[in-house]
Amino acid sequence: MLDLTPKEVSERSALRINPLKTCQPVGAMYAALGVHNCMPHSHGSQGCCSFHRMFLTRHFKDPAIASSSSFTEGASVFGGGSNLKTAIKNIFDIYDPDIIAVHTTCLSETIGDDLVTYINDAKIPEGKFVVHTNTPSYVGSHITGFSNMITGLIKYLSENTGIKNGKLALFPGFVNPGDMREMKKIMTLMGVNFTMLPDTSGVMDAPMTGTYSMYPKGGTKIQEIIDLGNCEMSLGLGELTSSMPAEFLDTKCKVPYQTLPLPIGVELTDQYVMALNRFSKNEVPYALEEERGQLVDILLDSHQYTQNKKVAIFGDPDTVLGLAQFALELGMIPKYLATGTPGKFFEEKANALFEKFDAEGCIAKGNMDLFELHQWIKNDGVDLLIGGTHGKYVAKAEDIPLVRAGFPIVDRYVHSYLPIVGYKGGMRLAEMILNTLMDRQDRDCADEDMEMIM
Amino acid sequence: MNSREKVLDKYSSKIYKNRKEHVIEIENGEPNIIAADTRAIPGILTNRGCCYAGCKGVVLGPLKDVVQIVHGPIGCSYYTWGTRRHKSKHDETTKNFSEYCFSTDMQETDIVFGGEKKLKKAIKEAVEIFNPACIMIASTCPVGLIGDDIHAVAAEAEELYGIKVVAFSCEGYKGVSQSGGHHIANNGLMKNIIGTGDADHVKYSINLLGEYNIGGDGWEIGRVLKRIGYNIVSVMTGDGSYAEMKNAHIADLNLVQCHRSINYIAEMLKTKYGTEWLKVNFIGLEGIKQSLRDVAAFFNDPDLTAKTEAVIADEEDEIKVTMSEFKTKLEGKTAAVYVGGSRTHHYINLLKSLGVEVVLGGYEFAHRDDYEGRQILPLKMDADSKNIESITVEKDPAKFRTFHTPERIQELKDAGLPIESYEGLWADISPDAMITDDFNHFETEEFIKLLKPDIFFSGIKDKYVVQRSGIPSRQLHSYDYSGPYAGFKGAVNFARDVTLAVNTPAWELVQAPWKTEPTLEGSIGGME
């Protein structure tokens, strides 16, 4: 497995090997799927759209619908205006969404298609919407595309009418439907009136009913997105992912904002709850206090199995930072933190975290790939890997157990239904980490050392 | 109104005009002309991919000893990383890069100032780290637009490092589907690799063309062929390698499994090296038996023929009971089969042997000859596909070699051997089937409602749409991570998987009891 990966790390500035990121449009597609009755539309050649739908379908084991402008060579040379206009007409005629959310690809971005003009010229049925965002694949990563699409929705739709609605606008970050449900549960428990954008719960984890519905029950409603401009404030979870839309909503509609890390583990969930508490002025209910206490109880009960274990965490920047903090709360050493998404912010945040917990000998690197992470591990190993499916090859090659968390997980089921955020998500993560480490102990120990009780 | 009219009727007149040529009913005695290989309608939710996917994802991807650098932003490379299940194995002499994903990860500055410099650097880094025998470069959408000359970069690198470096201009917008990419890959392999080896001819030697070893298909086919006594020179390209492909010209015969993706190479091998090709189908018992007998008839060696019959009898014997058990569970069911460019046809005989009839089917990107048969060739190219380079090759005087005389070939053709011939889907599809070319989401949903197939075979994008409609769905691209499905043993795997899909206990749990049973008050609750 991965036999050709040498131990010596060589300087690479051009060849990317085994990336820890993918391109913008898939993030935009995922965000658009979190809008109710929305058709995500990929303005480019159709291969992108098929790849992105595949990627999402494989992660969620659920349909991921999206249409494409299906560029031909002619359109690529002379512009994709008529392709987009034809697509908009056909989509409304045949698939009847309430809104089409257009994103771009490296093709339409390179030729410089002017989407604002195209959309203005398009025939849009009464009461229907077409919005767009620019998602050049050669900038940032899928995380950037996700942020761009939310920002695009706000840009087109949100309005400040001057009448406050008493709501909190919540940007959940690039997380699973299970996480979004957990974030909503906590807001509800805290008595917070909110709009979450996007909300893929009920869309990418829709139930089996025997009848297929192209637009499932979930998703943020258009009216709610419009009304985002009247929110009291916005809270962006996942600072790298959610800052852009939060800032933009402030710029456009004067909605003040705060950003926080993804609420993974005890302290980061505390921060989320405290922010909600400040917003709602409601007391934290016992139900949450109980969950928190249970999680801390679990960490104390099981500490000996996790403490001082070295872990490499890889994936999307906000997720990795949240998981790193939780690993530190478990007494683990987050030796390597790696993300493929470019940006200095990730390393700054990670280093601050290492400092806060006095964690020595830990390295964080953005704009990095799994090939290099594997090389680091070859040189100085870890006890555990936490990340997405691609890590399983490194796990097998180096015989290190892997806990799957983040994107993409394309080789396991159920994961997207359940949270890793909140106290409840912390319990689930703790269980996964403990089970993995303890299974390993059972597997590796001598027969005479097998423990009945652990 | 029949189901075809019912579905087409829901389209606007403009789309109706386009789609009516692609949605047809098979009827006995009719010529059954279909429109295919034309551009997809924007916004219609086609299932198609792009030229890059056809070139790098399909044809080049399985070549295990090649470092395949995707020149473009990260997505294209990422999505072809481990996603198509072309299996491959290491051996002592061949490096295997299948677990890796290589990209130039183009950034904005590369788009603005050109990406050639970065590509050169990426090749240098690949050579330094991996020392491969061959590097291939696949271009993506922006590369053609910004004018990077990847062929010049490849030529320079080949010179510089003394290894084979081949570039493929398979920008995603070229052609109308994956199909253009197959053609571009075929051209590049033929021009640069096939025939460059110096291996000696061996007896009973064959190439297996258009077999990508999904879930181990090629290995299962190879097992049986080797058992009979054939020598497999190269497989294009499942578990294939640059090392083997160089010598593909020395084989006596080419077996073509996937006609769509590899017929260009098959034709060019015939012109340049004199090697005949035979259309085969190693999926389904009838297909396999016919194919093995055809190959034996070509070689016309009594020992091979006897061994062929002995192996067939033995293999068939081994699976007979199991297959008939599965048949009792599937008999009488109907199926929809929507795959890329060849499997729809290949699976018909296997399904038939299990008592399942195909009532609905089609291809993403097949051409008219895949539907109607090669006798309709040559086809007129439309404006969207004209730009796919079509190369001509000349007879290679040094290496040209014919196994049979032209007279003997004609005799074999007259005897019914599918030499240089393919009859297409029409030869085997049921007379009542509904066919849609470049099938889209709308038509899939509508035909499901109207024709109610018991099982649906297609790809990942459809799978959960169909399943949620209450119909068992199996993927015929990825085999739902199972396989092999080809060969004798593959037939059993397929029959088992389909039987499991149809009989999953959870199907009985779909309706919540309160939707159908009277509540305590005695009224029907929750019915819509």
Q: Is residue B234 part of a domain?
A: yes
User: Could you list the residue range(s) of the whole structural domain that residue B171 is in?
Assistant: 51-175
Packing angle of the helix pair B217-228, B285-299 (nearest 10 deg): 40
Cis peptide before A261 (omega within 30 of 0): no
Is residue A365 within 8 A of residue A337, CB to CB? The reply is yes
Alpha helix stretches (DSSP H) within A307-360: 317-329, 345-356
| Same domain (yes/no): B73, B221 | no
Look at the block and give the residue holding tokens 């830990």. Answer: A362
A105 DSSP assignment: -
Q: pLDDT tens digits for B84-94?
A: 999 999 888 88
Q: For B121-162, give the DSSP string.
A: HHHHHHHHHH--SEEEEEE-HHHHHHT--HHHHHHHHHHHHS
Is residue A305 within 8 A of residue A438, CB to CB? The reply is yes
Residue B361 has a pLDDT of 96
Q: Is residue B347 part of a domain?
A: no
Residue B528 has a pLDDT of 45
How many Cβ atoms are within 10 Å of A446's Cβ, its own excluded?
6
Cβ contacts of residue B335 below 8 Å, gap of 6+?
A: B351, B356, B357, B358, B359, B360, B453, B454, B455, B456, B457
Interface of A with B in 309-348 (CB under 8 A): 340
Q: Is residue B387 part of a domain?
A: yes
Instruction: Among A62, A63, A73, select the one facing B387 at the smallest CB separation.
Output: A73
Residue A334: which of A316, A314, A311, A318 has the closest Cα? A311
SS3 B20: coil
For B224, the token pair is: 């049986």
SS3 B225: helix
Q: Can you say how many angstroms the Cα of residue A260 is from the centroid of all Cα atoms in its chain?
A: 14
Average confidence score pLDDT of chain B: 96
Q: For A163-186, give the DSSP string.
A: ----PEEEE--S--HHHHHHHHHH
Q: pLDDT tens digits for B280-319?
A: 999 999 999 999 999 999 999 999 999 999 999 999 999 9
The Cα-based distances of A225 to A20, A194, A203, B521 in angstroms read 31, 11, 17, 42
| Same domain (yes/no): B243, B159 | no
CA–CA separation, B467 and A61 (whole Å): 11
Task: Determine which one of B22, B71, B85, B182 is catalytic.
Answer: B182
| Same domain (yes/no): B294, B220 | yes
Is residue B150 within 8 A of residue B119, CB to CB? The reply is yes
| Same domain (yes/no): B268, B397 | yes
Interface of B with A in 40-99 (CB under 8 A): 40-53, 69, 72-79, 81-83, 90, 95-97, 99
| Same domain (yes/no): B382, B295 | yes
The nearest CA of chain A is from the CA of B470 a distance in Å of 5
Q: Return the residue of B nearest to A91 by Cα.
A: B43
**What H or E segment, with its residue span, contains residue A301?**
helix A286-306
Top pLDDT among B27 and A89 is at A89
Is the Cβ of A396 closer than 8 Å to some Cβ of chain B?
A: no
Contact A54 B460 (CB under 8 A): yes
Q: Return the residue of A nearest to B383 by Cα.
A: A74
Is the Cβ of B511 closer than 8 Å to some Cβ of chain A?
A: yes
Contacts of A211 in chain B (CB under 8 A): 468-470
CA–CA separation, A25 and A148 (whole Å): 9
Residue B399 has a pLDDT of 97
Residue A219: which of A42, A62, A32, A41 has the closest Cα? A32
Largest CA distance in chain A: 77
Q: Catalytic annotation on B343? A: no
CA–CA separation, B387 and B392 (whole Å): 15
Is the Cβ of B129 closer than 8 Å to some Cβ of chain A?
A: yes
Chain A and chain B share a number of CB contacts under 8 A equal to 254
Residue A17: which of A32, A4, A1, A36 has the closest Cα? A4
CA–CA separation, B222 and B212 (whole Å): 12
Tell me the average pLDDT across B336-345.
97
Residue B507 has a pLDDT of 97
CA–CA separation, A94 and B329 (whole Å): 38
Is residue B359 within 8 A of residue B335, CB to CB? The reply is yes
Q: pLDDT digit of tens for each residue in chain A (454 aa)?
A: 999 999 999 999 999 999 999 999 999 999 999 999 999 999 999 999 999 999 999 999 999 999 999 999 999 989 999 999 999 999 999 999 999 999 999 999 999 999 999 999 999 999 999 999 999 999 999 999 999 999 999 999 999 999 999 999 999 999 999 999 999 999 999 999 999 999 999 999 999 999 999 999 999 999 999 999 999 999 999 999 999 999 999 999 999 999 999 999 999 999 999 999 999 999 999 999 999 999 999 999 999 999 999 999 999 999 999 999 999 999 999 999 999 999 999 999 999 999 999 999 999 999 999 999 999 999 999 999 999 999 999 999 999 999 999 999 999 999 999 999 999 999 999 999 999 999 999 999 999 999 999 9
Q: Catalytic annotation on B296? A: no
Tell me the average pLDDT across B112-141.
98
The Cα-based distances of B366 to B48, B176, B179, B265, B373 in angstroms read 11, 11, 7, 17, 11
| Same domain (yes/no): B125, B243 | no
Task: Determine which one of B39, B84, B151, B401 is catalytic.
Answer: B84
Instruction: Among B49, B96, B465, select the one facing A212 at the smallest CB separation.
Output: B465
Q: Is residue B72 part of a domain?
A: yes
Q: Is residue B161 part of a domain?
A: yes
| Same domain (yes/no): B164, B243 | no
Top pLDDT among B47 and B93 is at B47
Tell me the average pLDDT across B88-111.
95
Q: Is residue B88 part of a domain?
A: yes
Is residue A346 within 8 A of residue A321, CB to CB? The reply is yes
Instruction: Among A10, A51, A90, select the one facing B129 at the smallest CB separation.
Output: A10
| Same domain (yes/no): B156, B79 | yes
Residue B498: which of B308, B298, B315, B337 has the closest Cα? B337
| Same domain (yes/no): B169, B220 | no
Instruction: Specify the length of chain A in residues.
Output: 454
CA–CA separation, B312 and B304 (whole Å): 12
Domains of chain B: total: 2
| Same domain (yes/no): B160, B234 | no
Where among B364, B388, B422 does a domain terminate? B422
pLDDT at B523 over 60: no
Region of residue B358 (left: phi > 0; alpha: psi -120 to 50; beta: else): beta
Q: Is the pTM of this model over 0.95?
A: yes
Q: Is residue B236 part of a domain?
A: yes
Interface of B with A in 226-285 (CB under 8 A): none
pLDDT at B524 over 70: no
The three-point CA angle A296-A300-A302 to 5° equals 115
Where among B130, B159, B175 does a domain terminate? B175
Q: Which CATH number is B273's domain given?
A: 3.40.50.1980
CA–CA separation, B34 and B370 (whole Å): 10
Where among B363, B389, B422 does a domain terminate? B422
| Same domain (yes/no): B153, B233 | no
Task: Determine which one of B36, B40, B51, B53 is catalytic.
Answer: B53
Is residue A296 within 8 A of residue A345, CB to CB? The reply is no
Domains plus CATH for chain A? 6-13+289-446 (3.40.50.1980), 24-156 (3.40.50.1980), 168-283 (3.40.50.1980)
| Same domain (yes/no): B118, B238 | no
pLDDT at B140 over 70: yes
Region of residue B65 (left: phi > 0; alpha: psi -120 to 50; beta: else): alpha
Alpha helix stretches (DSSP H) within B242-284: 242-245, 259-273
pLDDT at B526 over 60: no
Q: Is residue B184 part of a domain?
A: no
SS3 B458: strand
